[in-house]
Amino acid sequence: MTDSKPSNAPLALFETLPSTRTIPHISLATLPTPVKHLEKLGSEIGCRSLWVKSDDQSGTEYGGNKVRKLEFLLGEALAQGYKEVWTVGAIGSHHALATAIYARQVGLRPAVLHFPQPVTEHVRKNLKAICSTNPVLTLASNKLTLPVEVGKAKMKQWLSTAQNIYYIPGGGSSPPGVLGYVNAAFELKQQIERGETVLPDYIFVAAGTCGTLAGLILGARMAGLDTQIIGVRVVDKIMTNAAITAHLANKAGKILRAHGVQDIPHISISDVTLLDDYFGEDYGKPTDEGMEALGLCAKCSDVVLEPTYTGKAFAAIIGERERLDLANKNVLYWHTLSGADLSARIASVDVARDLPDGYQKFFEDDL
């Protein structure tokens, strides 16, 4: 069995279900992403058949799970003639950063409404990187006032310009975005059929705004993959729960049905598995288990984790070893953090000169 290598092959979804080629889409990602056996790391944690789906390599400008979603989201925005995209996220949001980078790449103006989160070096790097795209940035005072401030910011921008604005929810988790991970499930099936990996008994993935999880659940059902997908909650329950996940999956199914796909499975709340025990005290706040996972992956593999999402997701694999008998199972960790080099973007940004008012405070204190 050999590890897979990325290429620019047609989307697995489009190959398998040709009628879906009428869905608006723009090619941004480098697909399929590699899947490989983590022998040393698996031996270290007592899970000998441990694999990683390397979505960190999904894009040259920026990778991670957001690029797959943006192929459908920005594709729809362009197809409908929009000139600007709005989205929301925490100040260290990978989604906001990916949206800004790829919106600029395809000729759309990016705008982001941020809310604060615990400041880490990783957050500071992402915040500087997003400033390199020259987006419109607005800072909400906190998560509770975010809905009001989203409305105010959008109305102000709408009244000041004749351009239409395409709104992308946080995390890119809307029905078109979910299709990116429906495709990912079909992509994994093709890799299994080519002998590049084994059929996993379990797939572990970070679950924030639920779009990635929803797409994998729906896609796996459609592709006939007999695997259990486990979302590891990394955001407050009001945003990350089984009801939202099932709703997103079924809305994405309606898009597929409208484009000629028959027999779309209905996803119920009972089809969604979410683990709550690895979230910790707050969004973006590191946990001891997550930091241990970072260290183990750094010592035994080339998988690079961070504290907010991927560290907590991998900590769940370690924490669930005995309960799920993972020593005797095929386990796939779906890696959703970008592996792209942002050093040039970060170096180009001067905090005092380039960040809008109100953002400098995130760089004042020692970490």
CATH code of the domain in which 233 resides: 3.40.50.1100
Res 187 pLDDT > 80: yes
In a domain, 3, yes or no: no
In a domain, 353, yes or no: no
pLDDT-derived band at 140, boundaries 50, 70, 90:
confident
Q: Which residue has better confidence, 5 or 275?
A: 275
3-state secondary structure of 299: helix
In a domain, 153, yes or no: yes
Range of the domain at 126: 66-172
289 contacts 321 by C-beta, under 8 angstroms = no
In a domain, 286, yes or no: yes
In a domain, 46, yes or no: yes
Are residues 111 and 244 located together in one domain of the fold? no
**Cβ neighbour number for residue 295 with a 10 Å cutoff:** 12
Res 16 pLDDT > 70: yes
Q: Look at the alpha carbons of 74, 190, 203, 54 in this order and tell me if their dihedral is positive or negative.
A: negative
The kind and range of the H/E element at 203 are strand 202-207
Are residues 202 and 330 located together in one domain of the fold? yes
Are residues 235 and 291 located together in one domain of the fold? yes
In a domain, 281, yes or no: yes
> Among 122, 139, 172, which residue terminates a domain?
172
Are residues 187 and 327 located together in one domain of the fold? yes
Are residues 102 and 232 located together in one domain of the fold? no
Are residues 204 and 257 located together in one domain of the fold? yes
pLDDT digits (tens, 9 = 90+) for 63-78: 999 999 999 999 999 9
The pTM score is 0.92
Segment 339-363 mean pLDDT: 95
Runs of H (alpha helix) within the chain: 12-16, 39-45, 66-79, 94-105, 121-131, 146-159, 175-193, 211-223, 242-258, 288-300, 310-319, 343-347, 351-354
Helix 175-193 vs helix 242-258: angle between axes, to the nearest 10 degrees? 80
pLDDT digits (tens, 9 = 90+) for 90-136: 999 999 999 999 999 999 999 999 999 999 999 999 999 999 999 99
Res 224 pLDDT > 50: yes
